[in-house]
Amino acid sequence: MMTSVQHFVESWLFDPTIGKTVSTTVAIFFVWAMVRISRTMLNRYVQEPGNLYRARKLVTFLGYFTALIIISLIFSDRLGKMAVAFGVAGAGIAFALQEVIASLAGWVAISFGNFYNTGDRIQLGGIKGDVIDIGMLRTTMMEIGQWVNADLYNGRIVKIANSFVFKEPVFNYSGDFPFLWDEIAIPVKHGSDHRLARDIFQRILSDITGEYAQQAKISWATLIRQYQVEPAELDPRVFLVANDNWMEFTLRYVVDYKKRRITKDFLFTRVLEDVDQTLGRVALASATFHLVETPEINVKLVETTKGGSA
């Protein structure tokens, strides 16, 4: 009896598969511990949130990669014998998990292709929002828009597969040029002093959006060195179009991508205040519709007899 038990224990202890399994477990535990220690040290020494986020992601990825290499080295002989079986199984798995593989490829493209980074405002897969996390399979966004007007959060957190970077265009509002062109239209009555109106609107634009224009010029100069684009008009401008109803002034300007709505609020408020101070020399126009009462209609009915006579 003792011989059987001893033989079982010895065969179990000296079994190559058991030994490799124990070695793998110890190695993975060691890698996990090193990853935890590294992440703790990063929290202590890296203060900038963006750098901390990217460093933590890199450490986690290196941990996974190291564990995979260790497992491959430990089981290298067994893996070599099972190469054919792994090849057949791999083909089936690749077909079944093609969306997952595409998302992993998308993650690699996002990481090294400069599609977007955390903190960027993008539109991906028909969803617009701010990127708050880039995982290996999905990008997490804080959504804006939908039932909320303008570029404001609506409270939903959306996860989008990374494979969408290969399927649809990626619109980046804040990547290499974190400014947008925007404009508002101001209708002014015919007979108003159009020169005074233009001066008022130009002064308002310069006061409210002039700082954005100066910052945008610096970013655009960097963009020209990186891409083949021509110089653009970045200073605020006022354009006039006269039609049958009124004179329409279009105020065009560049603005920080996160401040479109508040900038429009400042502009319209200043326009109303400054126009009021002109004492009628400049008056805003509006469309007025007058509904006229339907006139009375008299209807005379003629009764017809069977003989065709009335």
How confident is the model at residue 240, as a pLDDT? 93
The answer to whether 121 and 257 are in contact (CB under 8 A) is yes
Q: pLDDT digit string (tens) for 76-114?
A: 655 555 555 555 555 665 556 677 778 888 888 888 878
How confident is the model at residue 253, as a pLDDT? 94
How confident is the model at residue 270, as a pLDDT? 94
How confident is the model at residue 175, as a pLDDT? 81
How confident is the model at residue 19, as a pLDDT? 62
Q: What is the pTM of this model?
A: 0.63
Domains of the chain: 9-96 (no CATH), 114-172 (2.30.30.60), 179-276 (3.30.70.100)
How confident is the model at residue 9, as a pLDDT? 45
How confident is the model at residue 46, as a pLDDT? 72
The upper half-sphere exposure of residue 63, i.e. CA atoms within 13 Å in the direction of its Cβ, equals 18
How confident is the model at residue 59, as a pLDDT? 78
Residues of the chain with pLDDT under 70: 1-20, 50-51, 74-97, 288-295, 303-310
How confident is the model at residue 99, as a pLDDT? 77
